[in-house]
Amino acid sequence: MKKYIERLWNGLLKENPVLVLMLGMCPALAVSTQAANGIGMGLSTLAVLVLSNFVISCLRKVIPDSVRLPCYIVIVASLVTVTELLIKAYLPSIYEALGIYIPLIVVNCIILGRAEAYANKHTPLLSVMDGIGMGLGFTVALTLAGMIRELLGAGTVFGLRLLPESFGMTIFIQPPGAFLVFALIIAVMNAIGIKTRQRQLVESGCDGNCSLCSTACEERKAEPAEAVKPAEPAGTASVQKGGDQA
Amino acid sequence: MNNTSLIMIIVAGALINNVVLNQFLGICSFLGVSKQMKASISLGGAVIFVITIASAVASLLYDYVLKPLGMDFMKTIIFILVIAALVQIVEMFLKKKSPAVYKALGIYLPLITTNCAVLGVALTNVQDGYNFIESVLSGFGTALGYTIAIVLLAGIRSRINEKDLPAPLRGAPIVMIAAALMSIAFMGFGGLK
């Protein structure tokens, strides 16, 4: 039981996907104009993440290692299409507000990242908990940023007016505000000593770019090693490469 | 379609609706790779290459396969698979035919598959009802905008690195503040409309 709760806590705070791992920044920056949009995007991603973690974890012994990335992409894309159609049918206002960012959940780094880093090594139940934790962490980060931007930009939170109408720095609802608010949230987290991992990522030159980051980085690291040790059998290298680049 | 509106599609894609600073697509690599000028230019080149081809293929597929068959809802799945396959083919082709370009692009080519800008452009083209030529131009313009943004940010970052910053701002926060200022500057292009 303890490790299931640990998973939730891990996703919410210790490895918060947006604020600590710096994954899924694109939708986070784009849809956090309002707190309600943040929740909508967060919960859509959570649904896809939980389902994809579950399916991939169930199939982890069936999917051949060399073609795992294309398989994951197909699974995730199908789940996203289902989610998109459901939102379009039942929550048209959210669908309007989120627009193209719903189909773009497919390329959200968090989903392929968790599949690669967690779901393909752990049991379905643990993977589901990991998905819930990560999804909640994403939702919380987006809602927090959405609340700050909405408050500073329009003086409201969840549409509720907290500041007079004359107040409102529209720049915070516009694109620059997204960068600014996330920069400040991360700076505050740095200041109060929550360790962020993104610095290492940025320093190492391997960007946090999604699932392929890890494999591409490995590949890059492997290159000098290969140069030193050319005796490595070419067959395994090419198989590995094929999987990485797919 | 006259020439002015075709040029306008490129300008709109590159400057007015800058893909990174205005639409927030491709942020991961924008923040991650902009550390070095050289890498940024290589990535920009690769992105222009892939997005232009991907827009062309996606547009053809949508107009001649998906739409006639009434499989509109399959576009996300089809596009992402096409893009992944395309990147792989481009990579194999370059490796064989022009090793110099392949070497220059290095690891950035495979990374592009998960760059949301590629899928994003393909989907917006369909949404906006662009025809083949418009899709290709819009793809090229968008990718050009990405390259402009990432090269500019790389230049700014090389200056930032020399400065003594407060500890909490080091790393990602200061880069995002720089991006915010760039975004404000790019809002000025809105007047071109």
Q: Flag whether pLDDT at A23 surpasses 50.
A: yes
Residue A207 within any structural domain of the chain: no
Is the C-alpha dihedral spanning A226, A232, A235, A239 positive or negative? negative
Ranges A126-130, B111-115, B176-180: which has the least confidence: B111-115
Q: What is the pLDDT of residue A163?
A: 85
Distance to chain B for A132, nearest Cα, Å: 23
Half-sphere exposure of residue B1: CA atoms within 13 angstroms, side-chain side: 11
Asked whether the beta carbons of residue A207 and residue B31 sit closer than 8 angstroms, the reply is yes
For B190, other C-beta atoms within 10 Å of its C-beta total 11
Asked whether the beta carbons of residue B180 and residue A176 sit closer than 8 angstroms, the reply is yes
Q: What is the pLDDT of residue A51?
A: 96
Of the pLDDT bands very low, low, confident and very high (cuts 50, 70, 90), residue A240 is very low
Mean pLDDT, residues A191-207: 51
For A58, other C-beta atoms within 10 Å of its C-beta total 13
Structural domain range at position A146 = 2-191
Report the complex ipTM: 0.86
Residue A244 within any structural domain of the chain: no
Asked whether the beta carbons of residue A176 and residue B115 sit closer than 8 angstroms, the reply is no
A31 phi, psi to nearest 5 deg? -100, 5
Distance to chain B for A29, nearest Cα, Å: 7
Residue A117 within any structural domain of the chain: yes
Q: What is the pLDDT of residue A219?
A: 41
Residue A142 within any structural domain of the chain: yes
Q: What is the pLDDT of residue B181?
A: 94
Average pLDDT, chain B: 87
Distance to chain B for A36, nearest Cα, Å: 19
Decide if A100 touches B, using CB distance below 8 A.
yes
- Whether the CB-CB separation of B153 and B179 falls below 8 Å is answered with yes
Interface of A with B in 24-43 (CB under 8 A): 25-27, 29-30
Residue A232 within any structural domain of the chain: no
Asked whether the beta carbons of residue B25 and residue A77 sit closer than 8 angstroms, the reply is no
**pTM for the full predicted model:** 0.81
**β strands within A84-128, DSSP E:** none
| Residue A156: strand pairing partners | A161
Chain B hits for A177, CB-CB cut-off 8 Å, are: 180
> What's the total number of domains in chain A?
1
Whole-angstrom distance, CA of residue B131 vs CA of residue B16: 21
Q: Flag whether pLDDT at A17 surpasses 80.
A: yes
Predicted confidence (pLDDT) per residue in A153-197, tens digit = 988 888 888 888 888 888 999 999 999 999 999 888 888 865 555
Q: Flag whether pLDDT at B32 surpasses 50.
A: yes
Nearest CB to A25 within list B31, B75, B111:
B31
Of the pLDDT bands very low, low, confident and very high (cuts 50, 70, 90), residue A46 is very high
Predicted confidence (pLDDT) per residue in A96-107, tens digit = 888 889 999 988
More confident site: B132 or A231: B132
Distance to chain B for A4, nearest Cα, Å: 30
Per the structure block, which two tokens stand in for A121? 């090594």
Per the structure block, which two tokens stand in for A104? 């773009």
Residue A228 within any structural domain of the chain: no
Of the pLDDT bands very low, low, confident and very high (cuts 50, 70, 90), residue B113 is low
- Give the rounded distance of the alpha carbon of A121 from its chain centre: 19
Asked whether the beta carbons of residue B114 and residue A180 sit closer than 8 angstroms, the reply is no
Mean pLDDT, residues A236-245: 38
CA-wise closest residue to A109 among A246, A214, A220: A214
Whole-angstrom distance, CA of residue A97 vs CA of residue B121: 18
Of all residues in chain B, what percent carry a pLDDT higher than 70?
96
Angle CA B55–B61–B66, to nearest 5: 130
Asked whether the beta carbons of residue B25 and residue A109 sit closer than 8 angstroms, the reply is no
Q: Flag whether pLDDT at B163 surpasses 50.
A: yes
Interface of A with B in 131-150 (CB under 8 A): none
**Residues with Cβ < 8 Å from B59, sequence gap 6 or more?**
B122, B125, B126, B130, B131, B132, B135, B136
Interface of A with B in 58-77 (CB under 8 A): 70, 73-74, 77
Decide if A169 touches B, using CB distance below 8 A.
no
Asked whether the beta carbons of residue A202 and residue B32 sit closer than 8 angstroms, the reply is yes
Name the residue of chain A whose CA is nearest to B184's CA: A176
- Whether the CB-CB separation of B139 and B54 falls below 8 Å is answered with yes
Decide if A204 touches B, using CB distance below 8 A.
no
Q: What is the pLDDT of residue B185?
A: 93
Whole-angstrom distance, CA of residue B66 vs CA of residue B58: 10
Q: What is the pLDDT of residue A141?
A: 93
Predicted confidence (pLDDT) per residue in B117-130, tens digit = 889 999 999 988 89
Q: Any idea where the domains of chain B sit in the sequence?
A: 13-192
Residue A243 within any structural domain of the chain: no
Predicted confidence (pLDDT) per residue in A70-119, tens digit = 889 899 999 999 999 999 999 998 898 888 899 999 888 889 888 888 99
Of the pLDDT bands very low, low, confident and very high (cuts 50, 70, 90), residue A135 is very high
Decide if A78 touches B, using CB distance below 8 A.
yes
Strands A156-157 and A160-161, bridge-based pairing = antiparallel
Of all residues in chain A, what percent carry a pLDDT higher than 90?
38
Predicted confidence (pLDDT) per residue in B69-112, tens digit = 988 888 889 998 888 888 888 888 888 888 877 777 766 777 77
Of all residues in chain A, what percent carry a pLDDT higher than 70?
78
Q: Flag whether pLDDT at B140 surpasses 90.
A: yes
Chain B hits for A23, CB-CB cut-off 8 Å, are: 28
Q: Flag whether pLDDT at A133 surpasses 90.
A: yes
